[in-house]
Amino acid sequence: AGLESKGRMTLRKSIAVGVAQAFAILPGISRSGSTISLGMLIGIEREEAARFSFLMAIPAIGGAFVLQLKDVIGEPMSGSFMTVLILGFVASYLSGFVAIRFLMSIVRRGRFDYFAWYCFAVGLAGIYFLS
C-alpha cells in the first residue's frame, strides 16, 4: 500500500497527484502535465497516470460549470443564443476529445519531449497573439 505499491494507484498516490493538481492554479503550470509527471515520478505506470489525470479533470470542469451556471440562469435565452451555446459545447467536446487522444498517443510512446515542445510553441503563440 501507499507510495510503495509498484505501478498501481493507491489512496496515498492519488492524494499526492491531487496535490500536484492544486499547483496548476499557478500561471503557466499544466494541470495534466503536473499530475502525469508526478504520477510517473512516484511509480504509477504512464498510461494509468494519464487516465487518472484526465479523470481528475472531471470534478474541476464540473465545478467551473456550476460556477458559470449562475451567470446564465435567469437570463433570457433566445434561439440564436442556444444555438451558439450548443455549437460551443460540441466544439469544446470535439477539441477536448482530439487533445486527449493526442496526449494519450504521446504517453503510450513515452515521448513527453514532443509534448514539451508543443506546449512551448503554443505558449509562445499565446503570448504573441494575446499581448
Question: Does an H or E element contain 57, and which?
Answer: helix 46-72
Lowest mean pLDDT among 18-32, 83-97, 103-117: 103-117
- CA-based nearest residue to 44, from 74, 76, 15: 15
Residue keyed to cell 451556471: 69
Res. 63: pLDDT tops 70: yes
- Burial (0-12, 13-18, 19+ Cβ within 10 Å), 48: middle
Confidence label for 131 from pLDDT (cuts 50, 70 and 90): confident
pLDDT at 27: 77
HEC letters along the chain:
CHHHCCECCCHHHHHHHHHHHHHHHCCCCCHHHHHHHHHHHCCECHHHHHHHHHHHHHHHHHHHHHHHHHHHCCCCCCHHHHHHHHHHHHHHHHHHHHHHHHHHHHHHHCCHHHHHHHHHHHHHHHHHHHC
pTM for the model stands at 0.68
According to DSSP, residue 25 is labeled G
pLDDT at 77: 73
Please state, in angstroms and rounded to a whole number, the distance separating the CA atoms of residues 15 and 44. 13
